[in-house]
Structure 1
Amino acid sequence: MSGNRRRGGARLALSKGERIVAALDVGSSKVAALIALLTPGSEPRVLGFGHQLCTGVRKGMVADMEATERAIRAAMDQAEKMAETTVDKVIVNMSSGGLSYQIHQVDVDIAGHRIERADIERVLSEGRDRIDPAGRTILHAIPAIYTIDGLTGVVNPLGFHAERLGVDILVVSAETAPLRNLDLCVRQALLGVQAIVASPLASGLACLEPEQRELGVALVEMGAGVTNVSVLARGMVVGMACVTMGGSDIVDDIAAAFNTRRSHAERMLSLHGTLITTSRDNHDLVEVLPIREGGPATWITKAQLSSVIRMRVEAILSEVAQRLDELGFRRAVGRSVVLTGGVADLNGIAHFATGVFGRETKIATPRPLEGLPEAATGPAFSTLVGLVQHELKQGQDIWRDGRVSMNRISRSPLERMIEILRGSL
């Protein structure tokens, strides 16, 4: 394990009701950290931000614990130095690991009286008790739509008269092993895990307006390792899927096609990548560095580079279109698609995706937070910003044990003893 993080550093003096929240986006190409101050009645204010390349995550799951731990430590150290404070716990995202969803419907008899807070708590408690993890780990159980006597779409049933009160609860779960690996990496960096949040939910909170969520929209988060697809309607997630391709596949295709290093392929994509070509692109040249250091450089046209990029992006978006069909989204008339994630920065991708999906597609960036650096305002940081937004809405998640920590994930006695000893260092 690498050197200790700063412990016992300066702590901010907080006023009544204020609290600090730390968010950690562990992705397939980067780890980003954010420390924000939450004040009642005010928007969150960013105090610190950190960003590090990460080589330890593949397809959204931890593949190298030491590399992932180093990236987490470095990103959080940057954020803490900028914020001039230290944190003990973080909210971290989960972008893969077999994320799945279910809509649980439950209703109770209230005998026609006026609905009180106790009735709402009773229907939510019954819904929570009926959730069966079935060998998986529950991340979220979020009540979305209430029903009174068959009338759906009730946002707040308090005060209504009804015979029966029902609720639709969105339940998001994940495979246990990938969650344990992620949890362990964070804890090895001497950080506690306050909550693990599904990336699609965080991105949706950061990018989508309430009216979009109500009318219906598909959110496609195109990350480096995976592309998450979520369908929202009536204010809630009604479908979720994952495509195990992303920006790193585009980089690999460029490196393989032109016999260059991945690092240079990523630079080529960043500087010259586009999905919109012109006749001039057949003449404009792009330098290609060889894999072997010191060898002669070669040159390709910008059109050749664009062709490789287009093939992979079309493959990714075609898979996304198939998932949308399976979720029933493409049968809905008039609903739009929103792209976010790092790949959404690729020039011309919204126009290209409109052609693939056959409906309007737009790029979404997270709603700005006060104090957030300009470098972190693009679509690549949607999940990070969404983790803070999720913390603001923590009371809406009724799966308390799942939110607070990973204690529901069974650990061996040896693992628990190691964690106790590590915390005392």
Structure 2
Amino acid sequence: MNLNYAKPSGWRASRSRSILMQYVFGLALAAAVPLFIFVYLLNAGRIANIQGISALGCAAAITMGFISFQKLHLFPGSSSGYMLMSLTAAYAALAIVMLLLRLDYSRPQLVTSYVVAIMFFPLYQMAFVDRQRLRLGIVPGGRGERAPEVRHVVWRRLHSVNEPTSDFDAIVVDLRHDHSPTWSSRIADFALAGVPVYHAPDAFELLTGRVEVHHLSENTLGSLNPNALYLRIKSLVDRAGALVLLVLLLPFLVVLAIAIKRDSPGPVIFTQTRIGQRARPFRIFKLRTMIPAHLMPVVQDDEAHRHSITTDDDPRITRLGRVLRRYRIDELPQLLNILLGDMSFVGPRPEAHSLTEWYEREIPFYHYRHIIKPGLTGWAQVNQGHVAEIHDVRDKLYLDFYYVKYFSLWLDVLITLRTGLIVMTGFGAK
């Protein structure tokens, strides 16, 4: 279910036309126009092989990026941002393929096409596809009593069964609530009239990216066990990718090790017991970014969980450590954890053993997040970042549950792209 398309048939047709026009115009501007310009600037109107191959490659990248965006747009977040990430990944893949196949291509033509694409597609998306707000009518009762505040969504509470609904894009109702016979009949009328009707918890999940779990059942999280085949494939890809990255990054890690030793006393690598898949403990590896514990004041046992929490202005963080943490560089040794099978590239972040025990005492079903391997990055990290207080941890857990419920290749791709953006810019890191 995609609430972005949950509108009457006339609106759907209008939106479909806008999307088709976006693709056609974008393809013409970003693939055909650069070809035309470079052909007439360089070859006096004659298309050379290098220009033809470049144009075909650009058209393929635009198509792949556009299709990927439609998949990523199923998840909450900025549509224009998803478009930018999809196109960037597609053009990067195009460049890699051309290099591997040793194809002759025009770099200026490729760069021009990419610049035009990342300017046109996100702007068109904001101006013509996403300009209308989603108007949702909400039936009172049960979970329908409180609707979340969501950007681009206008909620309108239905006070009477006779209230007109012609201006609504969809109706949201708690289908498990014991509604009165008149409301039950009205809800059935909505469906028979072709008005989309969504179960309130499902609608709230897809709009916010959070799954609030009040009891564990197949109705809450779909299947209580994620897709086993995808788990196995993902594990193999994770280990192969970790091995390649460790080999490539080894010189960089050596330089970082020297810099850490010069910056402050203590070991280069910090290890800590974390809780992994199926609640099994393992040792996690990180570049040390803080003053070693033995150089700090002694902490009482009843405050151990507080000491395990790192705040943004924590005085234990070293000067170099602040830079490493901002760009997530301190996480690189966890590639070894991925290679050993303790972690994945994407998944709920593993917590310290003392924190996990504390959270499990305070938050029901917290341990369910351990059904999937912990990750180097995750849905909670790209949406919320580092948290410390119980109420924030509960929100983070709802984000983790969303990842478990919608566990898929496309969600992993989206998290990876958003993490890459944080690493490159430092924006959003906590």
TM-score tier, shorter chain, comes to: under 0.3
TM-score by length of 2: 0.25
Whose helix proportion is higher, 1 or 2?
2
Larger Rg over CA atoms: 2
More strand by share: 1
